[in-house]
Chain A
């Protein structure tokens, strides 16, 4: 359930189960929520959002969102656009990996140290986007 009365940014992760990048999207999102921007962000459970969660869809319509997708299928971004509106920002892990060195991705169940380091960088990128969204909040 999403209950918000102040400036908050919704982070919507795909959490794709089939690939390691889905796990990276999930872990990066959790790191933002729990460590980097705990007071500025909330998350929206994508399966609930997709299942028709009214409060989740209303929140994503009324507040800015950042979608975090593991791959270029971009399920989180597509769903947000379809049900609530254009996200303020959209991040795709596979796109980011093209520009960063991460030679050996871990398994989708457990991220290895190398992948975790890159995942922390993805989290930093999300946090930067959160700052950017808040800076332009009208």
Chain B
């Protein structure tokens, strides 16, 4: 797990990575697009399962940094679990909101995203990146 210096507060982007449906894979892929490409210097992700398992380092990370959760379904497990961990939840994004804005896209692949899924992930990533920018400005 990468830790940053105090003057370099990264935003933690946490997807649900739900495994049953395409939207979980889209949440995961969008998170990688943000943390590895769009805002690679100002963000990082962490293992949601490790956080919820009570890992102390993960708990400190979400409590001491702004977090944005990315959820694939209405159960919003990522958001719920970050709240339960006492994390600093600064933003929450749902795949379904991007779907409503892009109804022509019909993502089906779960194991590997199909072109529609990839396109939706990119749209979602842009939305997350905007939230990151707002948080960085507000710091």
Contact = CB atoms under 8 A, between A and B. Distances in A.
B46 interface: yes
B20 A45 contact: yes
Interface in B83-123: 84, 110-112
The number of chain B residues touching the other chain, given as a range, is 20 to 34
Contact of A18 (B1, B16, B77): B1
Interface string A1-29: 00000000000011111110010001101
A75 B20 CA distance: 18
A51 B111 contact: no
A81 B22 CA distance: 28
Interface in A35-68: 43, 45-48, 50-51, 53
A127 to B, nearest CB: 15
Contacts of B14: 17
B47 interface: yes
Interface centre among B16, B33, B55 (most CB of A within 10 A): B16
B52 A13 contact: no
A31 interface: yes
Interface of B: 1, 14-20, 24, 28-29, 31-33, 36, 45-50, 52-53, 55, 75, 77-78, 80-81, 84, 110-112
22 contacts: A15-B19, A16-B47, A16-B50, A17-B14, A17-B45, A18-B47, A30-B111, A31-B111, A45-B16, A47-B48, A47-B81, A50-B53, A51-B75, A51-B84, A53-B75, A73-B50, A73-B53, A75-B53, A78-B53, A79-B49, A109-B32, A109-B33
